[in-house]
Amino acid sequence: MAIDVGKVGMVPVSSIIVGDRARKELGDLSETEENMKEIGLTTPLTFKANPDGTFHLLAGERRLTILIKNGNTEVPGRIYERDLTPIEMKIIEKSENFFRKEMEYYEMDQLILDIDRMQKELHGEKASGPGSTGWSSADTGAMIAGGLSKASVSLAIKRATMREACPAAFESCKSAADALKMIKKVEEAVVTQVLAKKIEETKDNHSVLNQLMKSFIIGNTFEEIKKVPAGVFHLVEIDPPYAIKLMDKKKSDGESQYTENDYNEIPSKIYIEGDKSSGWLGMRYLFKECYRVMSDHSWLLCWFGPEPWFETIYNEIVNAGFETTRMCPLWTKLSGQTMQPGIYLPNAYEMFFYAWKGRPAIARPRGTNIFNYSPVPSQQKTHPTERPVEMMKDIYETFAFAGSRVLIPFLGSGSGLIAAHQAGMTGIGFELSKSYKDSFIIKANGMK
């Protein structure tokens, strides 16, 4: 069978229809332009001739753009005059791009997926076993300059398929490696959701797990706390967003598996006074609500970012009616973090204010205000700011007695609920994300 090479001729620029293209970003054309000026156009563009005298561009958009920019009114082209199916046209367009390296990784992924789909639609999918006909992923890999293994093609197809299904989740992925990390997260989330649902459906209505699940309330803290009666809680532990661009800091410190969607950071301009349209009513409002729902002699614990919020948070706590001290307890860690090691020493601690309503007594006096615990390893975290359960139990037992009622406005991973349970206390809290509750259910499953 002879190879269809089309015919070669000059095509008027005014008659060319570009249409939708595989390449979404043309990229920097300057190097290609200089090369074309030096040695000319060595490869003609590819067109399909239409009955109305126009020409549909199949391949060569970058070169066409450069030629038009430089005043060319006609361009040389390989012209297909026979009828081409839409699939054949797309294959011609996309196949040429396989031999170019300027494409972004996600464009190449999409190109591989499209070619693989179209060739299988045209030739049928190749079945396993000797003598079978059709198209395989290995055939797709063989089309690419230098060749790609079947495994590499499969990964590219997986990345492109997932990006099609969840485009927003992949916007922050700068490389193929980032995209694979995101796929792992998505797959883990799906598995977690399925397992959590199975546990919920088979739970014992009188089990500890059922009580813990009921205590993990999905909702906006500022709306949910309005429903709480006054004077109920003996201890409130607030671990709010810090309004310090935490995710940027974590990415710089190697925790790039988290995205902005994992952590609801709050802009500093609305952190204290709030903004109704965003659903964040502000730390000032929250402290006043916490004071309302707390019993006559009770404790408030509030984690915060000391730079730049130390004095501001201190003043807001006092203005809400509490008494407190600037001598904050510290969580000290074994290692520190810094974004600029040439300027700043690595920070190896976090602090929280402890404040009181009325005259509560410390439940378990201790020798220092230092809580020395290793952080949760990043690979074991289900939330970017997850704290060790054993430390939270230690903190709760320092301030509150067994049997106390604990409110945790920002549950995150739910470690506080587990710590309260282990300390013999009753905890409830609020969290916006259902995915964190799913992870919590799996973690809490089997607790006695």
Q: What string of H, E and C letters represents the secondary structure of the chain?
A: CCCCCCEEEEEEHHHEECCCCCCCCCCCCHHHHHHHHHHCCCCCEEEEECCCCCEEEEECHHHHHHHHHCCCCEEEEEEECCCCCHHHHHHHHHHHHCCCCCCCHHHHHHHHHHHHHHHHHHHCECCCCCCCCCECHHHHHHHCCCCCCHHHHHHHHHHHHHHHHCHHHHCCCCCHHHHHHHHHHHHHHHHHHHHHHHHHHCCCCCCHHHHHHHHEEECCHHHHHHHCCCCCEEEEEECCCCCCCHHHHHHHCCCCCCCHHHCCCCCHHHCCCCEHHHCECCHHHHHHHHHHHEEEEEEEEEEECHHHHHHHHHHHHHHCCCEECCCCCEEEEEEEECCCCCCCCCEEEEEEEEEEECCCCCCCCCCCCEEECCCCCHHHCCCCCCCCHHHHHHHHHHHCCCCCEEEECCCCCCHHHHHHHHCCCEEEEEECCHHHHHHHHHHHCCCC
Residue 400 in tokens? 């509150």
**Residue that is last in its domain, among 153, 170, 187:** 170
**In this predicted model, which residue has the larger pLDDT, 97 or 358?**
358
Same domain for 140 and 83: yes
Same domain, yes or no: 124 and 226: no
Residue type, 353: F
Query: How many domains is the chain built from?
Result: 2
Please measure the distance between the N-terminal and C-terminal CA atoms of the chain and give it in whole angstroms: 74
Same domain, 223 and 152: no
Percent of the chain with pLDDT over 90: 44
- Most confident listed range (2-6, 91-95, 361-365): 361-365
At 390 the pLDDT is 96
For residue 208, what is the domain's CATH number?
3.40.50.150
pLDDT at 252: 45
Predicted structure pTM score:
0.61
Kindly state the tokens that stand for 22. Answer: 């595989």
**420 has pLDDT over 50:** yes
User: Are residue 288 and residue 358 in the same domain, yes or no?
Assistant: yes
For residue 185, being part of any structural domain is answered with no
- Specify which residues 298 forms β-bridges with: 357
Residue 120 CB-half CA count within 13 A:
14
Would 34 be classed as within a structural domain? yes
Whether residues 159 and 265 share a domain: the answer is no
Q: Which residue has the tokens 């201790």?
A: 366
Domain that holds residue 146: 7-170
* Of 159-163, 226-230, 390-394, minimum mean pLDDT range: 159-163
Within a 10 A sphere around the Cβ of 253, how many other Cβ atoms? Answer: 14
In-domain check, residue 74: yes
Establish whether the linkage from the previous residue to 308 is cis, with ω within 30° of 0.
yes
In this structure, the answer to whether residues 163 and 210 fall within a common structural domain is no
Q: Which of 12-21, 97-106, 344-353, 417-426 has the lowest mean pLDDT?
A: 97-106
Is residue 28 one of the residues assigned to a domain? yes
The pLDDT of 157-175, averaged and rounded, is 81
387 lies in the same domain as 244: yes
Residues 134 and 219 in one domain: no
Integer Cα distance of 383 and 428 in angstroms: 18
Q: For residue 337, what pLDDT band results from cuts at 50, 70 and 90?
A: confident
Q: Is residue 247 part of a domain?
A: yes
Q: Is residue 178 part of a domain?
A: no
Residue 375: how many CB atoms within 10 A of its CB?
Answer: 19
Q: Are residues 372 and 419 in the same domain?
A: yes
Phi/psi at 410 (nearest 5 deg)?
Answer: -120, 95
Sign of CA dihedral 228, 229, 233, 236: positive
Would you state the pLDDT for residue 286? 98
**Same structural domain, 375 and 226:** yes
Please list, in sequence order, all residues whose beta carbon lies within 8 angstroms of the beta carbon of residue 59, skipping any fewer than 6 positions away. Answer: 45, 46, 92, 93, 95, 96, 97
Calculate the average pLDDT of the chain. 84
Among residues 148, 170, 192, the one where a domain terminates is: 170
Same structural domain for residues 293 and 351? yes
**CA separation for the pair 187, 181 (Å, rounded):** 10
Q: What is the pLDDT of residues 233-269, one digit of tens each?
A: 999 999 999 998 654 554 444 444 444 445 568 999 9
Q: Residue 258: what pLDDT?
A: 45
Q: What whole-number distance in Å separates Cα of residue 235 and Cα of residue 32?
A: 67
The confidence score (pLDDT) of residue 255 equals 44
Query: 216 with 140, same domain?
Result: no
Which of residues 126, 148, 170 is at a domain's end?
A: 170
Closest of 297, 380, 387 to residue 351, by C-alpha: 387
Tell me how far apart the alpha carbons of residues 411 and 431 are, in angstroms, rounded to a whole number. Answer: 5
Q: Does 181 reside within a domain?
A: no
Q: Within a domain: residue 279?
A: yes
Q: The domain spanning residue 49 has which CATH number?
A: 3.90.1530.10
Q: Which residues contact 379 (CB under 8 A, 6 or more apart)?
A: none
How many CB atoms lie under 10 A from the CB of residue 252? 13
